Structure 1
Amino acid sequence: MSNESDAFDDVGPIDYLVVEYPGSRPTGKALPYLVDLVDRGLIRILDLVFVRKDPDGSVAAVELANLVQDENPDLTVFEGASSGLLGQDDVEEAGAVIGPGSTAAIVMYENLWAAPLAGALRRSGARLVAAGRIPGPDLIAALDSVEAAASGTRP
């Protein structure tokens, strides 16, 4: 008999993003890329929540239906993308990092591409002891610094 944790052996790492649309509403221009990642089986959307921070600083979740207008028709593909894992505390945390008058999307997703590796590691007795992410601009700055050091110039 397998135990309950066996059901999660092949779960990939779970990540989240908070993407701010300063002073505006999402345009939907990036959505085809998100849909492509889902369609290719690279990620699975667990939750998608939109957050609005009013000019007075108050923060609230925004119903997807309120964002779906003529300029955002592709948002409808994400209706029902809710596992219930993101809650009001997550909305408040996202609201703390976005500017007044802005809208943000909180996307929680499973990295399906990594699930087989993660499962194999767990089954072999390995355990994750650290994880992190390096933002693209930080990587570029570090590479520029390494290049400058190698050439004897300053970045």
Structure 2
Amino acid sequence: MSAATDVRATEVHGPIDFLLLEFPAEGLTGEASRALADLVERGVIRIYDLVVVSKDEDGAVDVLELTNPAHGASTFSYFHGARSGLLKDEDVTEASSAMRPGTVGALIVYENAWAIPFVAAARHSGGEVVANLHIPAADVIAALEALEPAHD
């Protein structure tokens, strides 16, 4: 089963997130797409939408076909057809405005499938999510580094 076909509606969902990854247009290796496919295959996440865009040096944006080997997007061909409708054209436009010229971006809407059993158990016992916040990794790293003792 491909990553794009496993987005059936269920009663319980894990947290659903949006992620924009930016890569230099030159030298794409496919390593990130392989790691993402591994997360899907292991059931850690479920992909709802994946769109790859390029932004040329003049700032022009182009949505790339995932199966076209002439574009850097082909490394994400495993996710061809991953379009749930959650990610709209306006979202692509807004996300691409955050990208630097000369880059390729992967816009991903994904569900944290690992959390589904926990969410189901919480709901079964009357629990509901009342707040949810994602802390940027850079902030966590900075906070942890601040805790490290100073070296003389």
Shorter-normalised TM range: 0.7 to 0.9
Q: CA deviation at 1:71?
A: 7.6
RMSD: 2.5
Q: Is the 8 A contact 1:23 1:101 kept in 2?
A: yes
Q: CA deviation at 1:65?
A: 2.9
2:109 is equivalent to residue 108 of structure 1: yes
1:140 alignment partner in structure 2: 141
* SS of residue paired to 2:37: helix
2:36 is equivalent to residue 34 of structure 1: yes
Question: Given the alignment, which residue of 35, 57, 60 partners 1:58?
Answer: 60
Q: Which amino acid aligns with 1:120?
A: A
> Where in structure 2 are the equivalents of 1:60-139 lying within 5 Å?
60-66=62-68, 68-69=69-70, 74-139=75-140
* SS of residue paired to 2:67: helix
Greater helix content:
1
Cα pair distance change 1:19/1:130, threshold 3 Å: same
Q: Is the 8 A contact 2:64 2:71 kept in 1?
A: no
Matched length: 143
Q: Is the 8 A contact 2:18 2:110 kept in 1?
A: yes
Moved >6 Å (runs of 4+): none
Q: CA deviation at 1:123?
A: 3.2
2:22 alignment partner in structure 1: 20
Q: CA deviation at 1:35?
A: 1.2
Percentage identity across paired residues of the two chains: 46
Q: Which amino acid aligns with 2:66?
A: L
Q: Greater Rg, structure 1 or structure 2? A: 1
Q: Which runs of 5+ in 2 are unaligned?
A: 1-8
Q: Is the 8 A contact 1:9 1:123 kept in 2?
A: no
* SS of residue paired to 1:104: strand
TM-superposition CA deviations, 1:107-129 (whole Å, max 9, x none): 11111110111122233332222
Higher mean C-alpha deviation, range 14-23 or range 122-131: 122-131
Q: Is the 8 A contact 1:53 1:99 kept in 2?
A: yes
- Please report the TM-score for the alignment, with normalisation by the length of structure 1: 0.78
Cα pair distance change 1:90/1:25, threshold 3 Å: farther
In 1, Cα distance between the equivalents of 2:126 and 2:55? 44
